[in-house]
């Protein structure tokens, strides 16, 4: 896909997990590798876009010169970078696996082993997707991902509406080789006109399908 159908467009992408600190040496994280978000960033850059990639802690390199990468660690940092950069973007794709909860207090020294039980009290993080959905203008597009374990289609569709997404990408958990850490993915794209199911493909080919949909909705 070397067609320059995104030239002069700015795209914001979030990718990877977030780490929520418990104490100076421990955190709550998740298994997101960042592969899907980085594939989307490369695809957009090759098609001519100027990309801002907001990345949580991942072992991934960005190669394309048109990708400006902002490395963050926590959900709060990802929120701040996203809110600051979305107003100047034509489209946002939210691919990061953001923590929904974070420790209410971060211990300032390493927590010691003590007693039979240990409790960490969590408070909710900011919902980046819902926040960007609220500030989205008519000339902007917003898309997100959903990974559901039950009532997949209904949950993804209501998530799309709740967060004011133009389309949502449903990752299948049912299929071998789809989702977290894999190099392949199997998706369903849902927008207001209905759903499109795609076969199992490499994440780079999946990125191309997703960006095709984004481009067609930007017109």
By the rule CB under 6 A, 129 interacts with ligand C5P: yes
Please answer whether residues 11 and 96 qualify as being in contact, where contact means their C-beta atoms are separated by less than 8 angstroms.
Answer: no
Closest approach, Cβ 65 to ligand C5P, in A, equals 26
Closest approach, Cβ 73 to ligand C5P, in A, equals 14
Pick the piece of the chain touching ligand C5P (CB under 6 A) from 2-10, 141-149, 173-181, 197-205. 141-149
Binding-site sequence positions? 100, 110, 145, 159, 163
Q: CB under 8 Å to 30, separation ≥6 — which residues?
A: 17, 18, 97, 99
Nearest in space to 1 (alpha carbons), one of 54, 51, 39: 39
* Catalytic annotation present for 30: yes
Residues in 70-109 that interact with ligand C5P by CB under 6 A: 75, 94-96, 98, 100
Cβ proximity to ligand C5P, 49 vs 168, nearer residue: 168
Q: CB under 8 Å to 146, separation ≥6 — which residues?
A: 152, 155, 156, 159, 160, 168, 169, 170, 171
Please answer whether residues 171 and 185 qualify as being in contact, where contact means their C-beta atoms are separated by less than 8 angstroms.
Answer: yes
* Chain residues in the site for ligand C5P (CB under 6 A): 14, 75, 94-96, 98, 100, 125, 127-129, 144-146, 159
**Would you please indicate which residues are annotated as catalytic (active-site) residues?**
30
């Amino acid at each position: 896909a070397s067609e320059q159908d995104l030239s002069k467009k700015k795209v914001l992408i979030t990718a990877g997990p977030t780490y929520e600190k418990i104490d100076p040496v421990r955190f709550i994280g998740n298994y997101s590798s960042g592969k899907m978000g980085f594939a989307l960033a490369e695809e957009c850059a090759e098609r001519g876009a100027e990309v801002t990639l907001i990345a949580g802690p991942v072992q991934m390199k960005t190669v394309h010169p048109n990708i400006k990468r902002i490395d963050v660690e926590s959900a709060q940092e990802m929120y701040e970078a996203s809110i600051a950069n979305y107003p100047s973007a034509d489209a946002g794709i939210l691919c990061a696996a953001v923590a929904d909860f974070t420790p209410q207090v971060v211990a300032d020294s390493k927590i010691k082993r003590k007693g039979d039980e240990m409790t960490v009290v969590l408070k909710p993080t900011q919902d980046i997707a819902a926040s960007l959905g609220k500030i989205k203008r008519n000339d902007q597009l917003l898309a997100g991902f959903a990974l559901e374990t039950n009532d997949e289609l209904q949950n993804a569709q209501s998530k799309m509406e709740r967060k004011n997404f133009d389309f949502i990408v449903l990752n299948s958990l049912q299929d071998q080789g789809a989702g977290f850490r894999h190099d392949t993915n199997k998706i369903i794209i849902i927008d207001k006109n209905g759903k499109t199911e795609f076969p199992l493909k490499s994440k780079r080919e999946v990125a191309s399908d997703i960006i095709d949909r984004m481009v067609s909705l930007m017109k």
